[in-house]
Structure formats: C-alpha cells, structure tokens
Amino acid sequence: MKIGVLALQGAVSEHIRLLTNSGAEAIEIKRADQLAEVDGLILPGGESTTMRRLIDKYQLFKPLREFGESGKPILGTCAGLILMAKTLSGEQDGHLGFIDMVVERNAFGRQRDSFEATLDVKGIAEKLTAVFIRAPLVKEVGPDVDILSEYNGEIVAVKQGSFLACSFHPELTDDARLHQAFIKMVAERPLLEAH
C-alpha cells in the first residue's frame, strides 16, 4: 500500500515522516502519472492559492479530480481542506469540490494568531493535539458530511465518503493517530469494493 503526498508546496516531509513512522510507504507526488502508483493521497497544508496555481501549472487539476472520483481516499489538511471544498465563502468557484462544505479561508486570523488546541476527533482520537496556522473553518456542511471535530463551536474536521479533511496541521506534531486512521481508510477500501 502506497500513499502519496502532493508535493508542490507546504508541509510535505512532515506528512511523509508520520506516514512512514506508521508503517505506510509514502511518496512525493509531483506529476500526474505518479497518481496511478498510489492507493491514497494527502493534500498538505501550505498556501491554498499558491497550491492551486501550481496544480494548474503542472496540469494536475483533472488528474486529481479523477483520482478522487475513482473512490481512492484523500486526506486534506489546512490548505488541503480548502482545495477539497465544494464552495469557498465569498468566492464564485470552489476547487476540487470533493466535500459538500462551505469553507472560509484564514478564519482564525493571521500567522501570529496561530495556536495549538486539544481536540476530540470522532472515531479517530481523543485529546489530539491540533496546530492551527492561518486555519480555514468549515462554515456549513451538506447532509452526507460527518462532522468529526469542533473547536469553540466551529467545525474543524469532516469526513464524506472516502474524503477526510481538517482545518489544522496534524503533521506538525508527533501524534500520528489521524494519519493512522487515514492509512486504515486506504487499507479498507479494496475490502469495501469486494462486497
């Protein structure tokens, strides 16, 4: 089982480290043809506008859409959550549109407003340390979206089908439980298809 990390920008090596420490084979994805090699994909934190520009520049948008539509699991963290949203607050277009949610960018303020919080993530981990850096918030979700975690009454982690996304950076801690849950989603997918 191989899990790719989109390696255009952002916290790539940190995701690779947690995946590898959790027993998965992890590879950096920089080209569309590499997507065929992986069973799951992480869209890391970083700067969502820059990431989208690079996705377009390297002609990755359609291959990423097809990867998600094939049912292969995708985890998006921070900027990755923004890329997975169907709708962005105050903007005409969403990005990949995998999760039926409305997302507000930089909802917690600027870089200096970064903070850590301890969260319970339903079905994944209790007391998970979450690092928020210019984090987005999920303002609304559709009927098929599971809310996995909230912070001060605001939605910060969601799941819809094979898509998992969070506002925070799990890769900036040594707590690998979110990554382990994602690895499990990737491992179980072929079993689900067999039934």
* Residues involved in catalysis: 78, 169, 171
CB 79 within 8 A of CB 171: no
Which residues, including other chains, have CB under 8 Å from residue 33's CB and lie 6 or more apart? none
Query: CA–CA separation, 156 vs 171, rounded Å?
Result: 15
- Mention every residue, 6+ apart, whose C-beta is less than 8 A from residue 166: 76, 77, 78, 81, 121, 130, 148, 149, 156, 157, 158, 178
Query: Which residues are registered as beta bridge partners of 166?
Result: 77, 157
How crowded is residue 190: how many other Cβ atoms within 10 Å of its Cβ?
10
Q: How far apart are CA 66 and CA 48, in angstroms?
A: 20
